[in-house]
Amino acid sequence: MDDAVIQSYEKQAEALEGSVAGMDDLRAKAIKDFAAQGFPHVKAEDWRYSDLKTLRTKAFSPANHAGETPDIPKAFTDCAARFVFVNGRFSESRSDMGDLWQAASVRPLANHFMANPDRAAELVRGRDGVGMLNTALAKDGMVIAVPAGVEIDDPVEIIHIMTGADDCAAHSRHIVELGEGASVHIIERFIGDDSSYWTNSMLQARVTESAKLYHTRLQEEGANAIHTSKAYVNVGAGGQYHACNLSLGAKVGRFEAYVRLLSDESNATIDGVALAGTGQSHDTLTHISHTMPHTTSDQIFRTVADSRGKTSFQGKVTVDKDAQKVEADQSFKALVFDRTAEANAKPELEIFADDVKCSHGATVGDLDAKAIFYLTSRGIDPVTARQMLVEAFAAAALERIEIEPLRDALMARVGDWMAERKAKPIPENKSRVE
């Protein structure tokens, strides 16, 4: 990797010394690891489908406060609070605390460790150069701690907006901590203009005994953006983590979820939809670790790739030696609109226990011409039939979102994406399994 790129990021990390209490040592270790390792290459197994050539060849400067006032999108549903980040910086004037402060502890990352700087060591340092750089350069984020027994009825929205940020990057870090029996629904939204920027976000969460964390993500970055995002979640006894990700924007987009099920009856469901238009690449990687008996996980992913678009899914489930009576399911299906589209699947099961129920499946194929013929024979025009089939295909991965207006809004995004492709020819049916 270019030495000038490394040196630029080393200077950026040095400039952040003292900006977040307790993080200086962690930053120093992270930037040292990044300098030694650099950005992941396609030769690395986990990154074989994501090309970060742009990041390896030039350094992205820290994004500054926007000079203009960006439009704040309307909420999908009633919210307990809405937190807005513009170019990676928390915008208090554009945010709405609502009534959340009465039920939970909420503060910006910069203030989180002031009372106890040693807790900064609990931050995830990262597994690769992207994660390490987030740790080294994160300055802002939201920390949400819900006390034991408190259930936040309405979701909390975190909105990331990038505007006028050519060759700039935003590195945000959010922390969610749930006490015993607590619950909250976090909605993350990522939007931006057509400038060439990089969003590098990370969310880490601790879900304790019988707590529930719902995590819905909508990625609608600008057409020239690079989007990398990671979630690290630890789930305790009887705890639940439910995630759903819809990827639509960015030139290169990648979402990773690492979930550790740490005690009996803990559960994780991770679902997702990725729609890749011409020239787009959407990559999803999940790794669920079953470390104890009687834990369960389920994953449903659906992707669609248009002409010269690419989608990829890498899903790994690990079952430790003593993790008996585990149940884990994983389903991935992809549609490609023509021969220039690409869909990749790499499901993995790594099982060291002998009393488990684990399964995975992956299929890649074209739209079913027979199904289209069936619908058209009943008076539905081919374009509408095609859109109905794709929406039904994607709905399988969105139906577990319990908030109906939120689920409907994401389904509407799928419909809008298909509406833009009305003139696409309907391919012959040549389904295949990979």
Please state the domain extents for the chain.
Answer: 1-235+242-248+256-261
**pLDDT attached to residue 242:** 98
Residue/partner pairs of 351-355 with CB below 8 Å, 24 or more apart: 351/318, 351/319, 352/319, 352/320, 352/321, 352/323, 353/319, 353/320, 353/321, 353/322, 353/323, 353/324, 353/326, 354/324, 355/324, 355/325
**pLDDT attached to residue 161:** 97
Strands 61-62 and 168-178: parallel
Which residues lie across from 262 on neighbouring strands? none
First to last CA, the chain: 33
Q: Report the run of H or E that residue 315 belongs to, with start and end.
A: strand 310-319
Q: Distance of CA 202 to CAs 30, 59, 230, 366, 432, Å?
A: 14, 19, 5, 34, 35
Report, as an integer, the average pLDDT of 51-61.
94
Query: Is the CB of residue 398 less than 8 Å from the CB of residue 336?
Result: no
How far is the C-alpha of 28 from the C-alpha of 162, rounded, in Å? 27
Per the structure block, which two tokens stand in for 343? 């869909």
DSSP state of 278: T
Signed CA dihedral, 102, 104, 109, 113: sign only: positive
pLDDT single digits (tens) 416-426: 999 988 766 55
- Our separate counts of H helices and E strands in the chain read 9, 20
How far is the C-alpha of 259 from the C-alpha of 205, rounded, in Å? 10
Whether 429 shows a pLDDT value over 50: the answer reads: no
pTM score, whole prediction: 0.94
pLDDT single digits (tens) 83-140: 999 999 999 999 999 999 999 999 999 888 887 888 888 899 999 999 999 999 999 9
> What band does 396 get if pLDDT is binned at 50, 70 and 90?
very high
